[in-house]
Each structure stands twice: as C-alpha cells, then as structure tokens.
Structure 1
Amino acid sequence: MTDSASPQSEIEKSLAKTLAGIEIPPRPAVLDKVMAEMQSHDPDFRRLANLIVADVGLAAGLIKTANAPAFGYRSKATTVRDALTMLGLINVLRTLAGLSLRTVLPESPAMKGFWETSSGTAFICGWLTRELGIRDGIRSEDAYTYALFHDCGIPVLLHSLPGYEETYTSSRESDRSYAEIEIERHELSHAQVGSVMAESWFLPEIHVQAILHHHAVSIFPPNMPGLAAGTRRLIALGQLAEKLHADLTGGADHGWNLTGADRLEVLGIGEDQLDGLHAGASNILDSGWAGPVLIWRVRVILARGPTDPRRRRGQSQPLPSPPPPRPRRA
C-alpha cells in the first residue's frame, strides 16, 4: 500500500495539471491511525478495536459488513474484535475506507440514489466473486471494496467542476463510454479522479488501476497490454454487478451494451448464465444488507452526535436497526 509520505505516484504526476482546482477529499484520520498500528512491529488488536469503537458509526458498519451474506463467513461478529479477526487487518482498513466515503464526499441533488446503488452493487460484486470462484487473487472483500470506490470520482467532480452536473445527468442515456464524454467535455474523467483518491486512501495498486480503467471498451491486450489479470477481473466483476443491480432495481446500464461481451470473456462465462446470477444477486439485495450498510454511519451519527457524552464514556447503547428487506420486483 502507498505510504502517506511517499513521493507522488505516476498517476498523480500525470494528472497534476488536469486536477488543478479539483478538491480530492483527504482520507479520514482513523485510516492513518489504523495504518500506523498495522505497520507497527506487533499490531495490537485491542488497540485497533479501541480506535474503531471511538466512532460508533464505523464500529457498527464494520460489524454489519463482516456479517453480510455476500462474504459467506460461517461465524458471526458481535464485536469489533470479532470483525477484525474475521476480516483481517487489510480488509478492515479497506472496509473502514468504504464506510467513510459518504461522510466525506459532498451531497448533490443529482446524486439521488447514488449511494444506495453503490452499496448494492458492492455487495453483489462481493457475492459474485465467491459464486464464480476465486481467480487471479481476487477475493470477495477485494471486489466489494473496488465496487464501492470505482465511481467515487463522480461526487468529487459534481462538487468541484462547473458544468459537470449537466454532463452527469444528460449523458447517462448515451451508448458512448461515459469516461470518453467526460474527457471530451472536461478533459478529465471520474475514473481518473477516483484512482487518485483511491491511492490516497490506501487502496492497493490493483484497485487504483481498476478504477482508472473501468470504462475502457476492451481490457484485453493489445488494448491494455500491461493490465494485470487481477485488475481485469475486478473491472469485469464490477461491471457485471452493475448490470445485475440495474436489471433487478429497474435501473439502466447502458455501458453493458458497449463492454458486456468483453467483461463476460474476462470472467469466462456466457450470456446463458446470467439468469442464474440474477437469482443469486436478487437474494443478496432481498437479504436487507445491501442498502443500509453504506448509510449506517450517517444514521448513527444523526441519532447520536459526535459530542454525545455516551461516546466519551464508552457506554454501550442500542444502535438503529437496518431497514427491512425491500420487496422483490416482479
């Protein structure tokens, strides 16, 4: 992972001029604290747990994520310490990053449904990884984190770039690559911005590259000769998860018409297998987990402000319950 004190990466150097005026949200302080503990000679799980439970929203979200059906763990986490043991330190860091996204990225009226779609797609993506089999070193937790972050550049640009909202709202029906339209109009894309943010937030290079290239029409050589197999798989899993989520929720995924065949080839599956995958993805959404986890932190903070004395005294209080499973669409 990238150290905060390391020199600028090649991605950051190449985008420095283009990103002038674009405000990349700084990573939350808790990520720096967790990373520092992880890099110590003997990481202390008790100290890590104490760092996390200081933010009740993150603690609740971490436990709920560890228990999500998409990951298929047999045991259930009831404490942050349990979640640390089940997920492992690297996955905990990435999960905390994902749970923090909505609290640091600005809201916009144009983003209606954005976070719910992002969360649902991420859980489907994690489930797909198990369903299709572990390949190229990509696990469910890797795919989940990638899917959460792959479009994080969109809210950044909506906040920072004049005229971007019109591009975002008017171009979603186009059969052209959305990143191509962005570059044509603004000389940069949400994929570029998202890759810089992902690197700054300690995501590994394989995720950074997948975010950067996830709108490429083809991710096979010779179009992408240097792209690692794991990066290609993340991109393909993410786009298939987007399609399944769109099909199940009445949304639209126009990018699938442009790149779907390429992504299925990466995954080694055919169109005839999609019906079965729709059924499994529907079960993930109907389980009631996919929607609330990303917004869990916000709900808890609203219910219990950051200055609430119960947090300082470390008292355990009931947390808001997740919403019931959504009704199944016909």
Structure 2
Amino acid sequence: MDDKILLDRGNTESLLKNLVIPPRPVLLEQLETLRQAGNINPDRLAQLIGQDLALSAAVLKAANSPLLGAQRAITSVVQAISLLGTQSVMHLVNAMVLRSQFSQPSSPALEAYWDESGACALLVNQLARLVQACPQDSQSFALFRGCGIPLMLLHFPKYSQTLAMTARTRDNQICAIEQALHNTHHAVLGYMLARAWHMPKNFCRAILEQYEADAFEKASSRLGDEALRMIALARAARHVWRTQTDLTADPGWNDVGPAMLAYLQLGDIEFQDWRSTMHDTLLA
C-alpha cells in the first residue's frame, strides 16, 4: 500500500500542502551516521551531546530518574550513557531534537505532552525487561508516536481544547474527533513528520495506524510484528503514566489493553503488578 492511499483515508492532502513540516535537523543526521557505523562510540556520542547544554541537561535528568533507581547521582554525560545505554540515549536525543523544533510558542498542553512522551519512553525501557523480542526502536516510537500533537498545537489555536476532550475518550474515537474539528488528525501529521525525517517506513506507518481498532485482532496487511509490538509497548506505558494517581483516568485501555497484552504475552496479573511498581516509583 503506497503513501497516497494511506493519506487519502484522512482526506488531508489539500490541508497538508499548507502545513510546514520542519526539516530534519543536522544533529539527527550526525546521529544516523553514528548508528550506521555499527557499534556506537560512547565517547563520540557524549561529544555530540556535550555541544548542547539543553541536551546534556536532559540526558542527566533521565539518568537520575527514579524509574532507573541509580544508586548515586549521575553528574556527567559519560556516566549517563554508561547507565542508560547508547541506544536509550540516542532515543532521548531524538526526542529532545523533536522538542527543539517546537519550542515556541510553548503552552501548558505542549509541556504536558513533552512530560508524558519522555516518561513513556522510560517506562517502555522498563517494560522491555518483561517482554521478549522487544523491538530496538520501541523507545523512539514511544517518543514519536504523538509527534503530530505539537504540529496540531502549532497550526490549530483551539487544538488544546480538542486534546483535553480526546483525553477522556476511547482510542478509536480520537482521530475521528480531531478529523471532524480540524479536518486532519495528529496521527497523519505525525506520519508526515516521521517520513520527512527519514524514519523507517514501518515505524512511520505504526504512527499513522496506531489507533486501528482491528490491528491486534487479525493479521494486518500493513503492520508487521515489530510495528505492532512498538504500538503495544507504547500504549501500555501510556496507560501506566495516565493512571498513576487515578486508575479510571484511561477510558480507552479496557478496549485495547487486553489484546495488546495478549500480543506481548503478558498476563493481566503480571502487568498489574508491574503497573503498581511503576506507580510507586513515579510517585516516590
């Protein structure tokens, strides 16, 4: 299935012509060069990060997150890379570069989105310990799955109201509500941004089709096992984040959660125990 058919489903082609998709930042090109070289050199990665104070601060903040349970304070980027691992740091830098493209104008809704996406990536990292065959790009997907939201906030002044509305709806209603109110939805814009930044094709399609109701009920002709696992891991992490103070705060989970946990081969009790542990850690 080609891109045109995928986008036609949202009837957004005319609108997309008028939207500005930020170009791929130079730092992402440098990171991709490191990735293609094979074994990522931690010193070279630390050198790239050290050129940007905001990136360095973000990496140190992640390394000192209570989710990771570090025994002592992490004070250098090199230490942070050693604790987090080069792949996790690469994912985090990707997220910070994404954030830098939408730093102005900021808003409470945008700040809430950054907080959630960053926390969900760390939660995916923890959830990977319970799940076999966790895709390498799972953390990046958790960070990028909602990357259309900043674009929506930038281009549609009333989108923050829509975002508050969809937070209380089921997953299969989110895109329909956004489509009705704005003539597009964040999954489409996220797909366009990911393609413009040369993300893998399956990664991009997972962003676009993450809300498909039947994706986990039958074999998908578009999404393979890796994409489905990324979607399931990110959605499970988002459920943990949303329910840390209120177990009823995620109305869509009862619809999609059982199928996703089954796909990940996680029992409900096992997942609930892990969720409780993560809640205690997040609230500590």
Both structures adopt the same fold (TM-score exceeding 0.5): yes
Tell me how far apart the structure 2 counterparts of residues 206 and 37 of structure 1 sit (CA, whole Å): 21
> Which residue does the alignment assign to 2:126?
127
Which shows bigger deviation, 60-69 or 114-123? 60-69
> Which residue does the alignment assign to 1:210?
206
Cα deviation code 1:197-230 (max 9, x no counterpart) = 2333454334323222221112236473331111
Letter of the structure 1 residue corresponding to residue 175 of structure 2 = A
Residue 74 (structure 1) shift: 10
Determine if contact 1:31/1:93 at 8 Å carries over to the other structure: no
Cα deviation code 1:130-180 (max 9, x no counterpart) = 1x2232x425xx332221221121121111135434432333323352012
Larger radius of gyration: 1
Identify unmatched segments of 5+ residues in structure 1.
1-8, 287-326
Tell me how far apart the structure 2 counterparts of residues 209 and 42 of structure 1 sit (CA, whole Å): 27
> Which residue does the alignment assign to 1:24?
21
> Which residue does the alignment assign to 1:172?
167
Tell me how far apart the structure 2 counterparts of residues 247 and 42 of structure 1 sit (CA, whole Å): 38
Tell me: CA distance 1:187–1:266, structure 2 relative to 1, closer, same or farther (3 Å): farther
CA RMSD, Structure 1 to Structure 2 (Å): 3.6
Residue 113 (structure 1) shift: 2.7
Q: Aligned ranges for residues 1-330 of structure 1 at < 5 Å?
A: 10=3, 14=7, 16-36=13-33, 38-39=35-36, 46-65=43-62, 79-81=76-78, 91-105=88-102, 106=104, 107-111=106-110, 113-130=112-129, 132-135=130-133, 137-139=134-136, 142-161=137-156, 163-175=158-170, 176-220=172-216, 222=218, 224-250=220-246, 252-286=249-283, 327=284
SS in 1 for 2:244: helix
Which shows bigger deviation, 174-183 or 86-95? 86-95
Tell me: CA distance 1:74–1:171, structure 2 relative to 1, closer, same or farther (3 Å): closer
* Number of equivalenced pairs: 275
Tell me how far apart the structure 1 counterparts of residues 212 and 68 of structure 2 sit (CA, whole Å): 28
Letter of the structure 2 residue corresponding to residue 271 of structure 1 = D
Tell me how far apart the structure 2 counterparts of residues 225 and 270 of structure 1 sit (CA, whole Å): 27
Tell me how far apart the structure 2 counterparts of residues 30 and 193 of structure 1 sit (CA, whole Å): 22
Cα deviation code 1:2-32 (max 9, x no counterpart) = xxxxxxx837994654422223233333222
Residue 128 (structure 1) shift: 1.0
Percent same amino acid at aligned positions?
29
Tell me: CA distance 1:188–1:62, structure 2 relative to 1, closer, same or farther (3 Å): same
Identify unmatched segments of 5+ residues in structure 2.
none
Cα deviation code 1:238-269 (max 9, x no counterpart) = 11111122221337222213322221221223
TM-score scaled by length of structure 1 = 0.68
Tell me: CA distance 1:179–1:68, structure 2 relative to 1, closer, same or farther (3 Å): same
